[in-house]
């Protein structure tokens, strides 16, 4: 290579180097402008998505309830929530759900939505099973029969079916514990029976030792308790009347309690006639010796305890005066005097 060609080569290389340096320096500010624009676009899109997709829909159905069926897929739940106007974006809901617990982390069941909430909060609740459903408080008084219970539940629970309840409770009179319960509005007769039976079982476990010592079967204890529930008021009278009724059974006497007629024909003592006392029913304790074939009510804990622990006394008879006070008698003659004194 001659000197001229070498100088040309050097100059060409320098020019190329200079040209390269000039391009790099000129493009550096332009590159950062692109970055700034891109960041701004991301921010704008994010803000847009947040305000358009994350907040609840304007027509969010407050005080509503939805059911997520067992086995529902994430996409079907997202579509359901969109259809019900709980969320705006099914995709954003699915993304939030996966972040909170995964695609298969949905907990089925009913969910309540009292006020509008953003999509991420909807996802969080469904992943954690946070149902937030209002519960209905229902009190079943001691001594209520299954028929009376059915009327109460039917008035309080939308999905309660009385006929189905009676099918489920065949042979359970006396064995559904009267108490105050809380039920979700969607619950049915099945949940009612399960809860009340579970409470009964729990109460009986605590009393099992006394039942065993009494020498009576659980069935006889509950049947006696159901009668005591209607025949007595306070704890003292419950134990006393329990002692009298068990004594009558031991002596082969008829119980002759008016309370069973509430179960037979719905009549109270004051409404009974001589014809009623002769009704041919296994629950008529004026005709039959011993306990009736089953409980006539669902007794509370005090009546059950009274049946387990009767009060020993010399009395064989008792009556309630017009004010509800109980008067006891040792003999039939004394009882007749009490009738004349307090009921005529």
164-177 tens-digit pLDDT: 999 999 999 999 99
Cβ atoms of 285 and 255 within 8 Å: the answer is: yes
- Distance CA(296)–CA(320), nearest Å, equals 20
Q: Which residue has the tokens 């304007």?
A: 58
- Distance CA(276)–CA(262), nearest Å, equals 11
| Chain centroid offset of residue 202 CA | 17
Sorting pLDDT into bands at 50, 70 and 90, what band is 258?
A: confident
Confidence (pLDDT) at 204: 96
User: Per residue in 106-145, is it b (16+ CB within 10 Å) or e — as a string?
Assistant: beebebbbeebbbbbebbbbbbeeeeebeeeebebebbbb
- Distance CA(183)–CA(193), nearest Å, equals 12
Question: Could you tell me what percent of the chain has a pLDDT over 70?
Answer: 85
Q: Report yes or no on whether pTM surpasses 0.85.
A: no
**Between 94 and 26, whose confidence is greater?**
94
Fold of 64-128: Dna Ligase; domain 1 (3.30.1490)
- Distance CA(186)–CA(81), nearest Å, equals 19
* 26 has pLDDT over 60: no
**Average pLDDT of the residues in 214-239:** 94
For residue 77, the surrounding DSSP H or E stretch is: helix 74-83
pLDDT per residue as tens digits for the range 298-324: 999 999 999 999 999 999 999 999 888
The DSSP 8-state label assigned to residue 254 in this structure reads: B
């Amino acid at each position: 290579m001659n000197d001229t060609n070498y100088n040309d080569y050097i100059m060409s290389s320098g020019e190329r180097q200079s040209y390269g340096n000039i391009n790099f320096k000129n493009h550096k500010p332009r590159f950062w402008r692109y970055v700034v624009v891109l960041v701004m676009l991301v921010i704008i899109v994010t803000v847009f998505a947040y305000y358009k997709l994350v907040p609840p829909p304007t027509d969010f159905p407050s005080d509503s309830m939805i059911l997520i069926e067992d086995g529902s897929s994430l996409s079907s739940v997202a579509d359901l929530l969109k259809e019900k106007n709980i969320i705006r974006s099914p995709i954003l809901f699915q993304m939030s759900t996966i972040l909170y617990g995964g695609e298969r982390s949905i907990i089925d069941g009913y969910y309540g939505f009292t006020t509008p909430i953003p999509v991420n909060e909807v996802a969080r609740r469904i992943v954690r099973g946070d149902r937030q459903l209002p519960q209905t408080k229902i009190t079943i008084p001691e001594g209520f029969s299954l028929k009376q219970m059915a009327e109460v539940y039917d008035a309080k629970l939308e999905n309660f079916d009385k006929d189905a309840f009676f099918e489920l409770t065949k042979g359970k009179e006396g064995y559904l514990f009267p108490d105050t319960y809380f039920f979700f509005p969607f619950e049915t007769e099945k949940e009612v029976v399960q809860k009340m039976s579970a409470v009964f079982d729990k109460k009986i476990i605590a009393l099992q030792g006394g039942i065993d010592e009494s020498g009576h079967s659980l069935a006889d204890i509950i049947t006696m308790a159901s009668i005591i529930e209607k025949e007595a008021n306070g704890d003292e009278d419950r134990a006393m009347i329990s002692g009298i009724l068990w004594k009558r059974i031991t002596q082969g006497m008829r119980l002759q309690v008016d309370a069973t007629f509430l179960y037979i024909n719905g009549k109270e003592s004051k409404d009974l006639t001589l014809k009623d006392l002769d009704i041919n029913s296994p629950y008529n304790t004026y005709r039959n010796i011993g306990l009736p074939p089953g409980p006539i009510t669902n007794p509370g804990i005090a009546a059950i305890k009274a049946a387990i622990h009767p009060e020993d006394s010399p009395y064989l008879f008792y009556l309630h005066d017009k004010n509800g006070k109980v008067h006891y008698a040792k003999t039939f003659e004394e009882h007749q005097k009490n009738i004349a004194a307090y009921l005529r």
